[in-house]
Amino acid sequence: MRRYHNIHRIVAVTGGARGIGRATAKAFAGAGARVAIGDIDGDLAAHVAHEISRATGGQVCGLPLDVTDRSAFTDFLDAAESRLGPLDTLVNNAGIMPTGLFSDEDDTMTDLMVSINLAGVLNGSKLAVRRFSGRTGRIVNIASLAGISAHRGVATYCGTKHAVVGFSDSLRLELRDSGIGVTLVLPGLVRTDLSAGSGTPLWVRPVSEVDPEDVASAVVDAVVRGRDKVVVPRSLGVLLGAVQLLPTRVRSRLERLAHLDAAFTATDSDARARYHGRILETRRDNV
């Protein structure tokens, strides 16, 4: 992936204290952008911002942000602009992925996925469109390859990501010729806490899993080039597209034979329990 320097952009990243968000904030700061990190864990956001600033020499600030609260989102953007200047890039990255069969899914988790993964993107995008009005800007929505496919054990997650895909493509049409671009990012399984303990077969992992830094590099590249859609890794997107052309019965049989159908049901229960617990604890402590 091409490395960029002296990117004169002012960027806000939601869910920026961990995983893809943290890597993206660091990649932008390393390329010369000024960056605001927003996260439900405000203390962690401030700590990570300090670490990134020290590592890159960039101007980075960490602020509390609950993407499900439009007023809180407005406060975050206002605070970011007061510290860094007028924003021109918003990366809607915040998201969670609890796993398990839909019938067993706790209602709290269902509501949180819809609120964070979907409503958070809608809130950020609407505020960004209004804020960028009259000047150029770019909205980056981090979806997932799960947004163009289907998997057992993550039904609600897939539903929210399908919605983000459709929303982003539609919003791009609405904003055509406005000077505001919309970039949709579709990562495969990313090696973060979000996917820890998944049951993805070992033989598939080299072609299906990526590091958060890979996604971050793709985001920076897409913003600089003004790209509408990015798949990470690109090869997996091509493969998935080919598989989707198969009849449903054939595709399901192949997935069972390859043990792909159990990737999010036959998981490491301890790892998933820790992740689910952290989601609820962080929400409880910071909302």
- Burial level of 65, CB count in 10 A (0-12/13-18/19+)? buried
Residues designated catalytic: 157
188: left (phi over 0), alpha (psi -120 to 50) or beta: beta
157 backbone dihedrals φ, ψ, rounded to 5°: -60, -50
Say how many C-beta atoms besides its own lie within 10 A of residue 150's C-beta. Answer: 15
Residue 10, both tokens: 């002012």
> What is the C-alpha radius of gyration for the chain, rounded to an integer number of angstroms?
18
* Three-state SS at 36: strand
**What does the chain come to in residues?**
287
Say how many C-beta atoms besides its own lie within 10 A of residue 199's C-beta. Answer: 17
Measured CA to CA, the distance from residue 27 to residue 92 in angstroms comes to: 16
Measured CA to CA, the distance from residue 116 to residue 95 in angstroms comes to: 6
- Burial level of 281, CB count in 10 A (0-12/13-18/19+)? exposed
User: Is 161 in contact with 143 (CB distance < 8 Å)?
Assistant: yes
